[in-house]
Amino acid sequence: MLPRARKRFGQHFLTDRHYLGRIVEAIAPRASDHMVEIGPGTGLLTDELAKRVDRLDVVEIDRDLAHALRERFDPARVAVHEADALEFDFASLPAPLRVVGNLPYNVSTPILFRMAENADRLADCVFMLQKEVVERMVGEPGSPEYGRLSVMLQYRFAMATALRVPPGAFTPPPKVDSAVVRMQPLDARRIQARDAGRFSEVVAAAFGQRRKTLRNALRALAGDDAFARADIDPQRRGETLSVAEFVRLADAL
Which residue ranges make up each domain of the chain? 9-185, 196-252
Confidence (pLDDT) at 13: 83
Q: Homologous superfamily of 196-252 in CATH?
A: rRNA adenine dimethylase, C-terminal domain (1.10.8.100)
| pLDDT greater than 70 at residue 162 | yes
| pLDDT greater than 70 at residue 61 | yes
| pLDDT greater than 70 at residue 11 | no
Rg (CA), the chain: 20
This prediction has a pTM of 0.90
- Rounded mean pLDDT of 86-94? 95
- Rounded mean pLDDT of 44-67? 96
| pLDDT greater than 50 at residue 166 | yes
Which residue type occupies 20?
L
| pLDDT greater than 60 at residue 8 | no
- Rounded mean pLDDT of 152-164? 97
What 3-state class would DSSP assign to 36? strand
Q: Where are the beta strands (DSSP E) in the chain?
A: 13-14, 34-38, 55-60, 78-82, 97-102, 122-130, 157-165, 170-171, 178-185
Confidence (pLDDT) at 7: 43
118: CB partners within 8 A, 6+ apart: 90, 91, 97
Nearest Cα to Cα of residue 41 among 181, 172, 178: 172
Confidence (pLDDT) at 10: 46
Confidence (pLDDT) at 1: 45
Rounded to the nearest integer, the mean pLDDT of the chain is: 93
Cα–Cα distances (Å) from 132 to 11, 144, 150, 172, in that order, read 17, 11, 12, 19
Which CATH topology does 9-185 take?
Rossmann fold (3.40.50)
Confidence (pLDDT) at 174: 87
Confidence (pLDDT) at 30: 97
| pLDDT greater than 70 at residue 125 | yes
> Which helix H or strand E contains 188, and what residues bound it?
none
Q: Pick the residue with more confidence: 3 or 143? A: 143
Query: Please, which pLDDT band fits residue 6 given cuts at 50, 70 and 90?
Result: very low
| DSSP conformation class of 173 | P
Q: Exposed e or buried b for every residue in 19-30, given b needs 16+ CB within 10 A? A: bbebbbeebebe
| DSSP conformation class of 176 | S
pLDDT tens per residue across span 217-251? 999 998 899 999 999 999 999 999 999 999 999 99
